[in-house]
Amino acid sequence: MKSVYAASLAVALSLAGAAGALAQPPAPPVPVILDTDIGDDIDDTWALAYLLRSPELDLRMVVTDYGDTVYRARVTARLLEVAGRTDVPIGIGTRQAEGGGRQSAWVEGYELSDYPGTVHQDGVQAMIDAILASDEPLTVIAIGPAPNLPEALERAPEIAERARFVGMYGSVRLGYGGSPTPEAEWNVRAAPAAVRAILAAPWQVTLTPLDTCGLLELTGDHYAAVRDSRDPLARAVIENYRLWLPHVDWLPDQPDLPDRKSTTLFDVVAVQLAFDESLLEIEEIGLRVTDAGMTVEDPGAPRSRCALRWRDMGALQALIAERLTAGSGARAR
């Protein structure tokens, strides 16, 4: 009888413990600022959409970076408006060029003055102010060449003590498309000095290099679910994809590509790492940035946490499809 009682008690305690664990409130969302060159490669558009649909993240601001940052702010503003997130302020980063970009057709006739939310003309200062004003550490997610960030660190070095950094940068042991030869990844090659400053700052740095982010695509049923969805945000992503593709010179001529699959979704992996690292394997290594944009392993260089291998890429592919189609259970006809 005693053994039966003990067994019953053990089961009861186990069930109580499980119920208690289930009753625990979810962790509060991670406050983030997105620094992006949206409007160049289409993956930034996918990444912003995925971020907006990730309840684990609290998007405090989008800051546009590199090149024509005003054009990038217009793309950001219209996408936020489609998503019903005009509560998110936009910061215009340091502008190095004018003339728009590959998604200009999508914002033809749409001006920043049309955006119902807040637009900061000095996006670098807006980023600094948001980090310093936050009661909790912010996560800066950077998914493009990032001259904004050295400028922010120079103006207010103390922001590194109040934030952590998650970015899509580098090529450590694999190159584009899983090539066994590392390459000069674009975000680094376009602004190597900026990446050096980011890696040298005294904040925690987590990176997805080409070793992992360069392998992620959406294909098959997962891609079809997004392509055919009535969800307004999913439809905006696919519309941008179709308008963007004819202006791309680094892909073979494949006009039907948006009917079949996504391009490589490099930047989505950085968004995922901002709230969940369980799908990837991370190593802490020293990275030295060369003038040519190579990220070379060097024990004497500043150390970064690098996602170098996948544990479960399929889980992220399923999550992207699920979240980007969450606004509609029906498919477009």
Report yes or no: 59 and 138 within 8 Å, Cβ to Cβ. Answer: no
Please give the helix or strand (H or E) that residue 3 lies within, else none: helix 2-23
Per-residue pLDDT at 49: 98
DSSP notation for 44-88: HHHHHHHHHT-TTEEEEEEEE-SS-HHHHHHHHHHHHHHTT-TTS
pLDDT at residue 7 greater than cutoff 80: no
pLDDT tens per residue across span 106-145: 999 999 999 999 999 999 999 999 999 999 999 999 999 9
pLDDT at residue 42 greater than cutoff 50: yes
Which CATH class, in words, describes the domain spanning 30-324?
A: alpha beta
pTM for the complete prediction? Answer: 0.91
pLDDT at residue 4 greater than cutoff 90: no
Helix (H, G, I), strand (E, B) or coil at 265: coil
Per-residue pLDDT at 332: 37
Dist CA 40 CA 29 (whole Å): 28
β-partners of residue 306 are 207, 283
Q: Residues of the chain with pLDDT > 70: what percent?
A: 91
DSSP notation for 185-223: -HHHHH-HHHHHHHHHSSS-EEE--HHHHTT----HHHH
In the chain, domain spans: 30-324
Dist CA 76 CA 79 (whole Å): 5
Segment 205-214 shows an average pLDDT of: 98
